Amino acid sequence: MKTYTQQAQEEYVSFPVTDLTLGPQAGVERIKSVSSWGHNGQVSEQQFPAFDLRGNVFVVTGAAGGIGLTMAEALTEAGATVYCLDRAQTPHKDFFEAKDRVKPQYGGSLHYQQVNVTDTDSLNAVISSIADKHRRLDGAIAAAAIQQVTPALDYKPSDVSRMLDVNYTGVYMTATAAARVMMKYKCHGSICLVASMSGLVANKGLLSSVYNSSKAAVIQLARNLAMEWGRPRPDGSGGIRVNALSPGHTLTPMVRENLRVDPDLLPLWEKENFLGRIADPEEFKGAAVFLLSRASSFMTGNNLVIDGGHTAW
């Protein structure tokens, strides 16, 4: 007896593929469309081919160091050409160390370009020039963020604006700049917005109401952009997935500064999750490759929380 999948595969091959935006009557065409995202029953000679990013081009903001750089390096290890964008004129030494770790056999490369995500015109120009150079852009990671630890009653309007300009508007404009050229070159790719566990909970011992609020906004932004850009359009554009990534407490330069100011935060945060420790940036490499590759081809509008179980209490 034939399985449903076997029967469906035999049936659709004799039908022409039509506009996939049609209604329920296009069921057979939809079956073929679904099959095209998978392996079509073929056994690959390569291990985990869905994670292969060779030939792909990405931009990562906030990538002079920290989680942004770690995620950029992960994409390079999977074979991609990756441009690290940050406001620093020259990147942190961590960037050069990551660049030195890139092996020729990876097939990828790591580059750095200076741009401030709050300068929308420059951001658009840089991302557009990268896409024009390669005639493609397969996705982006928006990881640029700043933090200010201040009691809510002491926040000035200028402090709030400065934080939101980077943490929300900068992320928003990074996503739209990337999507614009992805649609231009008809690249059905993926965009990852780096949010935070702090967008879901209030962090014990950390008075950062604006930071937390900005990260909550990023999580909601991912849902809305995913809805707007997800469906393929008649001209071949669209088909862009958008997800948020929410790390838990992680030993980034930002967190190192928090711990320098208040060493008691470390034991407090360590006991707040199931693993009894905070994360290392390296632990987000897998998530980066998953979210930006075909391995997550049916995931969009979601928030991937990697927090050691902190928010599961």
Show which residues are catalytic. Answer: 211, 215
| Residues 144 and 117 sit within 8 Å (Cβ to Cβ) | yes
| Residues 122 and 116 sit within 8 Å (Cβ to Cβ) | yes
Calpha distance 258→264 (Å, rounded): 10
Closest among 101, 69, 306 to 200, alpha carbons compared: 306
SS (H, E, C) the chain: CCCHHHHHHHHHCCCCCCCCCCCHHHHHHHHHHHHHHCCCCCCCCCCCHHHCCCCCEEEEECCCCHHHHHHHHHHHHCCCEEEEEECCCCCCHHHHHHHHHCCHHHCCEEEEEECCCCCHHHHHHHHHHHHHHHCCCCEEEECCCCCCCCCHHHCCHHHHHHHHHHHHHHHHHHHHHHHHHHHHCCCCCEEEEECCHHHCCCCCCCCCHHHHHHHHHHHHHHHHHHHHHCCCCCCCCCCCEEEEEEECCECCHHHHHHHHHCCCHHHHHHCCCCCCCCECHHHHHHHHHHHHCHHHCCCCCCEEEECCCHHHC
Calpha distance 146→117 (Å, rounded): 12
Residue in the block written with tokens 């508007």: 169
Calpha distance 52→234 (Å, rounded): 28
